[in-house]
Structure 1
C-alpha cells in the first residue's frame, strides 16, 4: 500500500491529499538535483512526485508512469500543466520503451504493491473487507480479472498461485473449495471469495483475516507484479545515468527478496569457490546506499499501514 490518508504533521509532509510512505527517506535516497531527470514508475496519487518536483529547478524533468487510469487522470489534472512533467500510462516494466526517457535519468522510484486509493474503493475488487466485483486489476482495461481467472484456472494452478505468491499453507484446501464452489455458482464478488476462504481456513493466533494471503496472491498473479518487477529492475539500471539512484519500496517479503538479491548481485562480488581457485573478475554496476529502511515510530503512529514498508536504495557506479 503506497499512499495513506494525510492525517498528521502537515508541516513536515508534502501538501498532498495522500501521505506517501517513507516520504522524507525516499527524497533523501534519490538525492534530487535541480537540473536532473527523475522517473516515478508508480505515480499513485503523486505524493512522492510532488516532493521531487518541488526540488527541481526550471531545467529539471519529471517522468511519471502508472498503469492505473485513475492515477493517470490525477497526473493529467495536477501535473500536466507543468512543462517539466511528462506522463505515460503503462507498467513500470515498460519504462525502457518509453521514448521520453531520452538520454537517461538521475533517479527512479518504484513504490510497489497496491495503493490505498485502489484498496479503499470497493469497486476495484482488491479488498476482502469491502464487497465489490472480484476484479483486482491495476489496469482494468488489460488482462483477466480475478473472477475470470478463477473461473477457468484448474485446481493445481490456483493452489500453486496461493502458495507461491501468498505463502498460504492451506493453498490446496482453498483451491479445492474454489473449484467445488464455482461448479455451483460463479465467484464474482470479493465477499463471496472471502467468506469461502473463511469457512475453509480457521482464524490464526494473529487474528488476521484468513483471506489475507489468498487475496494478496491472486492480486500479484493477476497483475504480473513480480514478473514486471524483474523486468523493471533491468530496465531501471540501464536507464540510470552514472551515479543515478534507484529507490524501491516493497511491502512484502517476496518483493523485498527480489530487490535485495538483485541489488546484491550487481553490487557485491560472488563468494569464492574452492573448486575454482582462479579468481573471476567482478566489476560492480551498483553501490548500495545504506541498508533496509523502515518507517519510524512517528510515521507508524500516523500511518499504521506503513509498518510493512521497506525502502532500499542503490546508486549506479560512475566512471572509474
Structure 2
C-alpha cells in the first residue's frame, strides 16, 4: 500500500471497495490512528459492556485475572485485538488468534457450564466492535462513520464472527446483516434490564482502575478514572452502579476526546506507520526479554 502526502489515509480509503476491501478499510481506520492509549481505552470500555449480564461479571471475577493481574489481562486481550485489526478476519494470523480465544472459552465453560451458552453475548460483542466508535463519535459531536465505513465495518465484523463459537456452536447466522441492524441489536441488548451483580461491579471497577493506573501517575489517576466514567454510557453506569460524573466533567472529557480525534483526522499529518509496526520496530531496537509494548504481550 503506497502512502503519500500529508493527509493520505482518506484518499487511500476512497479507492477501496467496502464489499471486498473491508479489511483494508478497517486497518486504515484503526491501526494508523489508534495508539496504545486509545486501544487500552477500547479494551476497558468493551469489557465493561461485555459483562453487563450478571454471569459475565461472575466469569471474569472467578477467573481472577481482571482483579489480581490487571495489566496482564489487558495485555493478553490487546494482543489479540491488534492481530485482528492489522491482519483482518480472513488471515491465518487472525484464525489462529481467535482459535486460541475459543480454547480459553471452552476451558472456562467446562468450569462454569452455561456462562458461554448465551449466543446473544457473542453477537453483541461483534456488533459492539462494529458500531461503538460510530456511536461515541456522534455522542461527542463528531461525524459518524461514512457509508463506506459502515459497509466495511459490518462486513469485517460479520466475517470475524465466523471464527467464534459459543457453548452452542457457531454464531454467524445470528449476526445482523447490515450496519444498521448491528446498531439496533446493540441498542436493544444494552437496554435489557440486566440484573446488577456485585461481581460485575467489582470487575468494572477493576477494569477502570487498570486504565487509570497504567496511563496516569500516582496522584493523577483520578483523571484517568474521571475520563473513563465520563465516556462510558448509561447502560454501564446503570447496571454496574458506577458513579456518574457531573455534567461539566462529562462535557469536558467529551470535548477533549472530540478535539483529539478531530486534530488527528483533520489537522495533524496522517501517520505513515501502523501502531503494530511501531511495536515491532521498538522490539527490534531494544531486544530485551522485558521490552514488549503494553498492548502486545503474548496470550
Report the TM-score, using the length of structure 1 for normalisation: 0.28
More relative contact order, 1 or 2 (CA 8 Å, 6+ apart): 2
* Structure number with larger C-alpha Rg: 1
Bigger strand share: 1
Bigger helix share: 2
Report the TM-score, using the length of structure 2 for normalisation: 0.29
